[in-house]
Chain A
Amino acid sequence: MLQLETVSKTYRNGFTALEPIDLRIEAGERVAIVGSSGCGKSTLLRLAAGLCPPSTGRVLLHGRPVIKPEPSVGFIFQEPRLMPWLTVEQNVAFGLRGPARHRHASVSSALLRVGLTAYGHYYPKQLSGGMAQRVAIARALASAPQLILLDEPFSALDAIKRAELQEHFLQLWESEQLSTLIVTHDVEEAIVLADRILVMQPHPGRITEELRLDLPLDNCREAPGFEALKKQLIQSLRPPSVGAGQTGADPVPFAVAHAIHG
């Protein structure tokens, strides 16, 4: 479905954010890219969405080159990015085309799916962070995309809200059979939301490892392999020079902090 062929990005100031990357996402697949902040995750996603042109290589959607944002690709950002002057309903309808009746139906059904039907007339400033992010999800769903790109979508929320929304998103994914590409610095989030995880390293941004998961979909946090997988991923995220000699020697809490904020 989505294909990146030796896509790289060097910004105008000469900074290479991304080395050539090859990536393929099949229909219905859920892929996560984990990497520390600044390793080029957002850059990769913006390239995939056609929001900025790659320096080399090309992005293909269904075999056709992507040069500008495609209607069949949804994007959910870290912040909800709702228009403050539009109500929840109008925000969800943002960017929808076609006859008013169809748009209205898409909006209602998207709001229903995220459980916000009662809040259609609220303004964004009246919503909590979690609700606002669900509006953003509804907005992405309303245009019935085949692929959703998510850029650290839940990282601005507290741990409880984050887990709730992740569960919610899983249910949505099961009912919609969407392809998703999510980038995150949160190893746990990657394991919960994806079947396939790519590990990214910074300076310059590149993919260093790939994992296929066979954890059960629901309640995967309690699955036997979860903790081991988490540890393994955290190890892979650490810079090679540190990780090489001392594997397993560092106490895990330090490793977690390092991986997340490093």
Chain B
Amino acid sequence: MARFQPFQLNPRLKRSLIPWLVPLLLLVLWQLLASRGVIPTRILPAPSAIALAAINMGRSGELWGHLSISAGRAGVGFLIGASLGLLFGLINGLMPRAELLLDSSFQMLRNIPPLAMIPLVILWFGIGEEARVFLVSVGVFFPVYLNTFHGIRSIDPGLIEMGKVYGLSPWQIVTNIVLPGATPSILVGVRFSLGIAWIILIVGEQIAANSGIGYMAMNAREFMQTDIIVFSIILYALLGKLSDSMARGLEHRLLPWHPNFQRTAKAVPSKPAIS
């Protein structure tokens, strides 16, 4: 007989609600302070004002224009940089000779922060699309390259020997053992580089652009529209979180065997080990 139990949430629901508690409280506090004039609107507008600005921009269509442009830049830059990173990671990981030839050059280039190249990139490409896409690609390339390379090199040589015992050809060893074994590391690189893509894009759009969310923020500064500036910052946070969730989803999908992503608890054999 079930008793009526008020305030008894199921534990899973509770676990997913509790992390929102602190942000919610802060938001309420912020709203109170702002609407009483403790925080001047010029410094930080109330959450309600920001929401209003967001709705207005959404209605006018301005928001969607900037948003899709930024997402497009991040996406294209990511695709180019990640493909090249994957390609060179595979080549250098699989072929020690290629590594000897290329790796030290990559290591040298890696130490240049992509944003330090902005002046040069503007000279090369002007402030057109290529400039941002180029910067994002460069930033994305290295994490993907390094993690792919590292993933390949850290494969247990015992597994490769196992493949040889079964007469696998070098190519079969690559497709059956090396690639699946390196996938977790490659995905770490992908996830990391998605974060980097957004960071580079923000700065790139603020300095040299006439569209995109970064431009939207810089433009708002000219007109002292603090609400839009704060909204742009929130947008970046949301987009970063969204792409991170997508990368995590990919990990769950591709790595069902990985202990970090196993949904069920570690299975304990219910039978004696020797039957």
Expressed in whole angstroms, the minimum distance between the Cβ of B176 and any Cβ of chain A is: 8
Bound form: Cα–Cα A248–B180 in Å: 55
Partner of B161, one of A51, A85, A168: A51
Contact A164-B274, Cβ < 8 Å, known A49-B165, A69-B166, A77-B158: yes
B168 touches A95 (CB 8 A): yes
A69 touches B269 (CB 8 A): no
A83 touches B165 (CB 8 A): no
A69 touches B273 (CB 8 A): no
Give the residues in chain B near A86, CB-CB below 8 Å: 257
A29 within 8 A of partner (CB):
no
B162 touches A85 (CB 8 A): no
Bound form: Cα–Cα A118–B275 in Å: 11
B181 within 8 A of partner (CB):
yes
Give how many A-B residue pairs fall within 8 Å (CB-CB): 71
Max count, chain A CB within 10 A of own CB: residue among B168, B183, B275: B275
Of residues 126 through 150 on chain B, the ones whose CB sits less than 8 Å from some CB of chain A are none
Bound form: Cα–Cα A95–B176 in Å: 10
Give the residues in chain B near A164, CB-CB below 8 Å: 273-274
B242 within 8 A of partner (CB):
no
Interface residues on A, range: 20 to 34
Per the CB 8 Å criterion, the residue count for chain B at the interface is 28
B269 touches A128 (CB 8 A): yes
A119 touches B162 (CB 8 A): no
- The DSSP consensus for interface residues of chain B is loop
B55 within 8 A of partner (CB):
no
Bound form: Cα–Cα A51–B162 in Å: 10
Of residues 88 through 119 on chain A, the ones whose CB sits less than 8 Å from some CB of chain B are 94-95, 115, 118-119
B180 touches A81 (CB 8 A): no
A51 touches B165 (CB 8 A): yes
A122 within 8 A of partner (CB):
yes
B59 within 8 A of partner (CB):
no
Of residues 106 through 135 on chain B, the ones whose CB sits less than 8 Å from some CB of chain A are none
Bound form: Cα–Cα A86–B166 in Å: 16
Of residues 229 through 265 on chain B, the ones whose CB sits less than 8 Å from some CB of chain A are 255-259, 262
Of residues 49 through 89 on chain B, the ones whose CB sits less than 8 Å from some CB of chain A are none
Give the residues in chain A near B167, CB-CB below 8 Å: 68-69, 71, 95
A130 within 8 A of partner (CB):
yes
Expressed in whole angstroms, the minimum distance between the Cβ of A136 and any Cβ of chain B is: 9
Closest Cβ neighbor of A168 among chain B residues = B274
Expressed in whole angstroms, the minimum distance between the Cβ of A104 and any Cβ of chain B is: 18
Of residues 112 through 146 on chain A, the ones whose CB sits less than 8 Å from some CB of chain B are 115, 118-119, 122-126, 128, 130-131, 143
Of residues 48 through 63 on chain A, the ones whose CB sits less than 8 Å from some CB of chain B are 49, 51
A79 within 8 A of partner (CB):
yes
B269 touches A85 (CB 8 A): no
Contact A125-B259, Cβ < 8 Å, known A69-B164, A115-B275, A119-B269: yes
A239 within 8 A of partner (CB):
no
Bound form: Cα–Cα A8–B238 in Å: 65
Q: Footprint of B on A, CB under 8 Å?
A: 49, 51, 68-69, 71, 75, 77, 79, 81, 83-87, 94-95, 115, 118-119, 122-126, 128, 130-131, 143, 161, 164, 168
Q: A94-B166, A130-B274 are in contact. List 18 more A-B contacts (CB 8 A).
A: A51-B161, A51-B165, A77-B162, A81-B156, A81-B158, A81-B159, A83-B159, A83-B177, A84-B181, A118-B271, A122-B267, A123-B256, A123-B257, A123-B262, A124-B257, A126-B267, A131-B269, A164-B274
